[in-house]
Structure 1
Amino acid sequence: MYCVKVELKERSYPIYIGEGLLSDPSVFPLKKLDKVMIVTNSTVAEYYLKLLTDTFVKIGCQVEYVLLPDGEQYKTLESLNLIFTALLKSNHGRDTTIVALGGGVIGDVAGYAAASYQRGVRFIQVPTTLLSQVDSSVGGKTAVNHELGKNMIGAFYQPTTVVVDTLTLKTLPKREVNAGLAEVIKYGAILDHSFFEWLETHIDDLVALDLQTLQHCIGHCCQIKADVVNRDETEKGDRALLNLGHTFGHAIEAHLGYGQWLHGEAIAVGMMMAAVLSEKLGHLSFNDVARLERLLAKANLPTVSPDGMTPDDYLPHMMRDKKVLAGKLRLVLLQSLGQAYIADNTDRQLVIDAINHCSQFD
């Protein structure tokens, strides 16, 4: 078992990574008679709700659960209200613990519920998708979507513990595994060239769900994320680098309708657009752009824009992005593989050219 620590003084917490952790009471900071509300969806519940409930019952907890619909399109205020209703009906107080059992959608919605319910209750992240295990469960970003923008309503709110059971990946659809690899590749592209090279060598093992390789990969990604969050919890500086490809990718998700493309699929195309733009600005080499494209393709991820999407479909969403300051578009771009930077007020025509370059009609 790996253990990575997020160091935030009195709000520090561990990330446990290993096989079979859902049935290990020792990794959960709970005690006898604690009240627990598990938030999950119908898909994940079929596989893991009873297993996790049994673990909490062994501890002596009082356990209830609420089921949300499955999918990015349900990352909404309506789903948030379902959690609040379940908590209130069962008279949960400030001493309750919310447990997020699922992927990024469940983690984000349950985390925001924990941040809001009675002005804040404890919560535990139990991510069951690769994307949530390497990225969204760590760092305390919680939110719901709005039809005009992704993750526009939320809060920074740290979990008490993150428990990553790699066995949950065995029941994950291949498309979801591939989507998670987009965030894995992102870490190498922005901050760790040697990890990018490691991925080029081991991507086939990751796609094939070799658990030993996956455990090493998840641990490394969580350490990178933890180090960034330690330095910049609320995204005033370095943490913004973790958004490589996200401004483009969020535009894809919002334009198509949430859930049509998986988050990681949209981010893969967004990273390609950011890489092409970086090349047009004279930073990233043509060879490095090609290496990124090959690695994404090996992970079975898209590298071109959804059919028919034009710059006019991207730009309105991009200008509503959270990283826009004083009406100026801010993008995460690459100096080289392993070295990212924030670009302010990038030339609009170059942005359009990068979108066109990665479009199917080009």
Structure 2
Amino acid sequence: MKNSGENFSGQKKGRILSYDFMKSVAVAGVIVGHSLALAAGMAPELAVLERYGTALMRPVVPIFIFLAGALYKPRQSMRETGLRLLRLVTPYLFFAAVFTLIYVLTGVKFGTVGYILRVLTGEIHPVYYYVFLMAEYTVLLFVLERIFGYERMTIPLFATMAVLSILHGNYSKEIFERIGLRESMTLFCTYRSPFLWGIFYAAGIVLGQYPNLRAKAREYKIWLRSIFAGLSLFYIVMVYFAIGDLDGLNSVITTLICFSAILCLLTIRVRSKGWLFLSRRSYTIYLAHVPFYYLMEQIWKGQEHMPAIIIILTNLAVMGGGAAAVCALGKAIFKNHSFYVIGS
């Protein structure tokens, strides 16, 4: 499949197939990771699978953040910025409604104000906090461009993103505890989450504006793949032998793996229509698989004697297939591009 006029600023000349491929790999990784986590809860001897699932999911959000930055289109008008926010918010609110229905049917008690805060901040589920960050970054970029101009925005961009990352990492836990949101939001805002998200987004914007980046990556592809393989092997050994925790050195290694993986994937030519179908809807699938995760969690209760491989494969089929079906439904309902990935 040919990509006509490939560019790195998210413009409509053509799809950036390498970036599409990365998004599809990322969303596949989080679904596999959640499948392993579900299987881990079935029996004590399977508990190690949760560590593997966590290790697999760890790089996913940084990759999404980086790609959202790389697909950023500079010099956007207020209308274009509004449309970008719409592409973020429409599918998110769709799944917030799904969660509301689940909560009502299961008798979960929540106050109106508290639930509105959960929806507006992404606390409805940890992975949804990503939407809150992207909406914040979208507005921030619009303001920074108007103040500094795009050509002089790099240093203010990195400085602002660094400050935001520190604030999200160190102070948001206390803030959200004070207003009563102490569960998934506080977990997702502490040092346990990758605190370099803002830097990833800024790096994606900067690198996304270099059209010859792909050619340079191909020139050094042997070195890049060697670095990626070495870091990945080291990470696997750390996880397998439970060296340290998932907060300190592992965060640094994960960050390096993400960047090396991104550069490696730039060297790959992607022609599979299946991968492109998945990647064009990766943002929505990323959101949509979560209700199916909770569904499978309920189904497997009391099924402790089920073989682990059956549990894992069933989880993959239900979460992946169900999320794809919801994407098709959402696209049919809204009849616009809101159910495509950010930057499409």
Instruction: Report the TM-score range of the alignment, normalised by the length of the smaller protein.
Output: under 0.3
- The two structures have a TM-score, normalised by structure 2, of 0.26
Higher relative helix content? 2
Higher relative strand content? 1
